[in-house]
Homo-oligomer: A and B are copies of this chain.
Amino acid sequence: MAKAWHLVSRPQGLPTMDNFALRDLPDQPLEANQLRVRNRWLSVDPYMRGRMNDAKSYAASFQLGEPMTGGAIGEVVESRMDGFAPGDLILHMGGWRDGGVIGLDLMPNKLPRQLLDAGMPPQTFLHNMGLTGGTAWIGLLRVAAAKPGETVFVSAAAGAVGSAVVQIAKAREMTVIGSAGGAEKCAWVADIGADAAVDYKAGPVLPQLAAALEGLGKPGIDVYFDNVGGEHLDAAFAVANDFARFAICGMIDVYNDGHPQEMKYLIRTIPARIRMEGFIYTDQFFDCMEEFYADMGALIASGAVTIRETVHDGIDAAPEAFLGLFAGENIGKMLVRI
């Protein structure tokens, strides 16, 4: 019998284990246009925190007492859906569970056999070839319209999205400064090619960012890719070059925290003519999916874009993997392997 994590209470601030319960899913016969699936990999992502609230947002709220959902890689064990056969590996939105019945509402898509046969691990479609890599690519190249020769600052640069931003930017001949928390993460950010790393746990962001720019002989940043908000965002306003573009992907610093963000340098929006824009992967992904797969696939194949995975094992571990995102526990992509 398949089991799924259900939302049993809504968090105030940081989520806790009490918000989740692992429960059996009812057995049910397979109907037309359904697949029975055994999941292999589950994704946990910061945006899911918003879905735990009972508030209108771009992603529908999880309902109390119902199974949670999210990106997953599964293997088809039974199919009543055209084009899918037992043994197929699929990407779908029926995560937070070890398996069960997947209908069209959970958007099953077969993984491309050609890439799997060439050795691409299936869980790549949960990160660099999927949500986090697509978010990085769209935000950097489309929203911020970053160009070769420009200077890019990216926060949470050791995370799944941030590490992809660093590597795509370096592959496009940009200068990159990444911020991360702690020496180990900063070392990895440098390993994947960043020209400088800022350790936000070692001291305030702005003086470190300014020192990094000076060390690189750059007057300021042309692009800021924000995953964090708060102090990082304010530091980006402080050092923005004229006509800088900020792609706002996340503000993990404030997801669990109702405090206002204190913006001392927001006023530089006017003299520096800064453009700041929030974006969501799904708004733009389907318009550029083919270009993204071709470009990102080539970057991965050439070794220009790599990843680290922080893996928790077993369906029991999903909530602790998710909570680890907010404790800065992961390097690269946080995953649950089943």
CA distance A107 to B230 in the complex (A): 42
CA distance A279 to B105 in the complex (A): 43
Mark contacts of A163-181 with chain B using CB atoms, 8 A cut-off: 1 yes-contact digit, 0 otherwise.
Answer: 0000000000000000000
Mark contacts of A229-256 with chain B using CB atoms, 8 A cut-off: 1 yes-contact digit, 0 otherwise.
Answer: 1000010000000000000111100110
Asked if A269 is at the interface (CB within 8 A of a chain B CB), the reply is: yes
B270 lies within 8 A of A249 (CB)? yes
Asked if A266 is at the interface (CB within 8 A of a chain B CB), the reply is: yes
Asked if A280 is at the interface (CB within 8 A of a chain B CB), the reply is: yes
Report B-chain residues with C-beta under 8 Å of the C-beta of A276: 269, 275-277
| A230 nearest CB across to chain B (Å) | 9
Contact size class for A? Answer: 20 to 34
Report B-chain residues with C-beta under 8 Å of the C-beta of A263: 260-263, 266
CA distance A261 to B58 in the complex (A): 26
Partner among B229, B248, B255, B266 whose Cβ is within 8 Å of the Cβ of A229: B266
| A234 nearest CB across to chain B (Å) | 8
Query: Which residues 264-296 of A have a CB within 8 angstroms of B?
Result: 264, 266-280, 283
| A30 nearest CB across to chain B (Å) | 36
Shortest Cβ distance from A234 into B: residue: B260
Report B-chain residues with C-beta under 8 Å of the C-beta of A261: 262-264, 266-267
